[in-house]
Amino acid sequence: MRNIYLPSQGAEDWRRLLADPIKHWREGYSAMCLAHCWESASGLPHEIARLLTCIGPLPELLVALPEHKVPLPGSRRGDSQNDLFALVRAGDQTVAVTIEGKVDEPFDQPLGTWLANASDGKRKRLAFICDLLGLTPPLPTNIRYQLLHRTASAVIEARRFKTDAAAMIVHSFSPTRKWFEDYAAFVALFGAIAAPDQLVCSHFEGPPRLYVGWASGEIHHLPQNGLIPAV
């Protein structure tokens, strides 16, 4: 994992960082929507800033790193490639934030599918994540693995940068809030109740304090005809 980052000149610079720059860079999909949204914002997109005000006033974007990889144990290719990682200052608090962009795409596989014929590496990775997040296995089979490792990434980076808090935020551009029920099931693991456009503090016994949230992005970042391609 490289630790030198170059300033972005625009949304197109995000494309080369994708795992598949052809398949994943398409109108109506999360990668392009997220890039255009964050590049067009003056600092934080307002829907993200609004969520983070519950941590501290006047949230300020310090740095944002697209397609940021966070190593996880169990596999040389087991990194969590986060759509975006950001360091944010909110009042006197510093927050490590992982952003998961979504339009119509699901949160990858549920655990029941992901664990089918799982390797020792996969099981080691899941055990590490559960221990890190204070979750007791076995977890429900409907929980989406992607939400687990994105949240683990936020905690890992919060400890690495010694921030006051960690947050995993789903930045959704779906007009119908597609897959919100999967997010809500995940939030319930931490004894919290999910709500759209709210940041909730989990019962995770840090440090750091852990927050999870769902932010509704502006739909003008979708294709102008309003049609979203099928996944």
Nearest to 166 by CA among 211, 206, 197: 211
* Tens digits of residue pLDDT in 7-34: 899 999 999 999 888 888 888 789 999 9
Nearest to 152 by CA among 92, 94, 89, 202: 202
In a domain, 121, yes or no: yes
* Tens digits of residue pLDDT in 82-123: 999 999 999 999 999 999 999 999 999 999 999 999 999 999
In a domain, 200, yes or no: yes
In a domain, 159, yes or no: yes
Domains identified in the chain, total number? 1
Q: Is the pLDDT of residue 202 over 70?
A: yes
In a domain, 181, yes or no: yes
Write out the residue range of the structural domain in which residue 134 sits: 17-221
In a domain, 149, yes or no: yes
In a domain, 3, yes or no: no
What span, in angstroms and rounded, lies between the C-alpha atoms of 36 and 40?
A: 6
Band (pLDDT 50/70/90 cuts) for residue 74 is confident
